[in-house]
Structure 1
Amino acid sequence: MADAQMQCVGRDRIAVEEVKAAKDALLASVAFCKSPRMSRLLDYLVEQAIADCPRDTSEYAIGIAVFDRDPRCYSPGEDPVVRVQVGRLRTKLKSYYCAAGRLASIEIEVPLGCYMPQFRRRVATSCTSVPASAFSICPFKCVSQFGQWEHFALGLHEELTHLLYKNLGRRIILEPSGEREPRRQADDSLGHRLEGSVHVDAERIRASVRLIEVQTGCVAWSEQFDGAAYMAITYQEAMASSICSALQNFLDTPHEGRPCLRL
């Protein structure tokens, strides 16, 4: 049987013992030592990645193994605990490597769109690098006959603004609420504008989100996100996390020659 010290993981082929040391350093940090739930999540995800068990990093598997959900009735679609907590974990990891762990040689990250951690060797970089371009966020419109869902739309907008600021590394400009027309070309660095609306029926809430190229007025990206019709903050955070993940995947991917719908 091969010595565990000789096992390597990740694209950079990092020794398992180095990965475990990086994990232990994280768990001993202030951000994690006072958060047993977050520590348990990090430990579980890293161990599954080391063991190369992607099946055990599904949302369902994490909910049962880490958050003690009952497998007989647990439904990830109705209970967003994994999406919410992994979103918080990503934020904690990013903050750690920009502060207490800025000199760490190994970085653990959980890419948006999946729950399997990745490990990489770090190079000396600044956490205050100049962003590629800024974009603005318009207040989300609520399309519902029930006025209380205005609060959900407002909360979703707030959660999404927070996640985009924490994860995208771009300058965020908030469009004032109540303005009939969003600003145009007021800032040469402003590349895109994010707009959204919230639709609600008896069982489902749907957020329709689109990204507009400011200079051309074209729709560069558009998606819809569905969730159970509950108003709790947890559901706002889960939907915001899904939107942030999809948007970052779009922004990180080259799209030369893609069609553009002009409004």
Structure 2
Amino acid sequence: MTAMKKGAAAIPAAEVQAALELILASSVFVNAPRMRRLLRFLGEKAIFGAAQDASEYFIGIEVFDRDPSAYSAGKDPVVRVQVGRLREKLKTYYATLGAGSDIEILIPTGSYRPVIQRKSVVEIDSTQCGMLALHPFKCISHHQDAVHFTQGLNEELMHQLFKAFGKIIVTHSFFISGDADHESWILKDISNAGVKHLLEGSIQIDEERLRASIRLVDVSAGCIDWTEQFDRRVFFAISHQEELASSICRALKRFFCHQ
């Protein structure tokens, strides 16, 4: 598979495919079969390096089942209308569920070729957020795979937070006594140690999706400064731990950037 590029930075095709699947599984698209079919067609053409085949005529035949012997792109506006709707749905997705996504898949006006790019990295001053402590996320499902996924996500998130924020990250062992996995921990007075925020959350699953519910707590005030939910399709691979942790970090950066 090929890699998507923005400037000199290549995006592995596997990451693009994962991002595409997340969009298609989201509530924005799950009940829109025509939009799902159109986005999958355009996205996979781009992933496999065949975006040049996505002409209006070809899309009309392959996606909207037009008769090749009778179809005229000039007379039948189905592709133009549906691609316009797709652009709006993608805007909605990235303004809501996909706000923390690492990769954007966009359809520029006047084109049927997707632009696939990483979102711009938000730079923040570490003094804006102070010391940030991560409390291990809890799995509130009895599904054993979900428990293991949550444990792996905690490790991946600590790694990603350190990469994103540096030495302001405090490990949970610094402020938790007892067995955190069995909730017999005692929260120490971490505000006196310079910790300003505590990041906590939970993982739950049903038959169709996995949801990470995240909260950022102001330690001194005890109030919630920020909260977000990240919905993903049910899949327990390491690559999904990496993608979810990256999305959480980017959403945190955006929050602190606007403080």
**How does the TM-score come out when normalised to structure 1?**
0.51
- Unaligned 5+ residue runs, structure 1? 1-35, 49-57, 78-82, 87-113, 119-128, 255-263
Question: Are residues 1:65 and 2:68 paired?
Answer: no
Return the alpha-carbon distance in structure 1 between the equivalents of residues 250 and 157 of structure 2: 10
Aligned to 2:172: 175
Aligned to 1:249: 254
Question: Are residues 1:140 and 2:137 paired?
Answer: yes
Letter in 2 for 1:196: G
Aligned to 2:161: 164
Aligned to 1:98: none
CA separation of 1:46/1:136 partners in 2, compared to 1, >3 Å: closer, same or farther? same
Question: Are residues 1:153 and 2:150 paired?
Answer: yes
* Percent sequence identity over aligned pairs: 32
Aligned to 1:206: 211
Count residues with an aligned counterpart.
163
**Contact 2:126–2:165 at 8 Å: present in 1 too?**
no
Deviation at 1:155, TM superposition (A): 1.1
Deviations 1:143-193 (A, max 9, x none): 112123111111111111111111123521111352523332364321100
**Contact 1:45–1:117 at 8 Å: present in 2 too?**
no
Return the alpha-carbon distance in structure 2 between the equivalents of residues 231 and 183 of structure 1: 33
**Contact 1:45–1:116 at 8 Å: present in 2 too?**
no
CA separation of 1:215/1:200 partners in 2, compared to 1, >3 Å: closer, same or farther? same
Return the alpha-carbon distance in structure 1 between the equivalents of residues 199 and 164 of structure 2: 16
Letter in 2 for 1:231: F
- Unaligned 5+ residue runs, structure 2? 10-18, 21-38, 55-61, 64-89, 94-100, 104-116, 174-178
Return the alpha-carbon distance in structure 2 between the equivalents of residues 151 and 228 of structure 1: 16
**Contact 1:200–1:206 at 8 Å: present in 2 too?**
yes
CA separation of 1:47/1:146 partners in 2, compared to 1, >3 Å: closer, same or farther? closer
CA separation of 1:226/1:143 partners in 2, compared to 1, >3 Å: closer, same or farther? same
**Contact 2:132–2:169 at 8 Å: present in 1 too?**
yes
CA separation of 1:185/1:47 partners in 2, compared to 1, >3 Å: closer, same or farther? closer
Question: Are residues 1:115 and 2:112 paired?
Answer: no
Which of 188, 191, 194 aligns to 1:189? It is 194
Return the alpha-carbon distance in structure 2 between the equivalents of residues 218 and 69 of structure 1: 50
**Contact 2:132–2:197 at 8 Å: present in 1 too?**
yes
Q: Which structure would you say has the larger Rg?
A: 2
How well do the aligned residues superpose, as a CA RMSD in angstroms? Answer: 3.9
Deviations 1:42-79 (A, max 9, x none): xx21179xxxxxxxxx9677765356699989xx99xx
Letter in 2 for 1:171: I
CA separation of 1:142/1:65 partners in 2, compared to 1, >3 Å: closer, same or farther? same
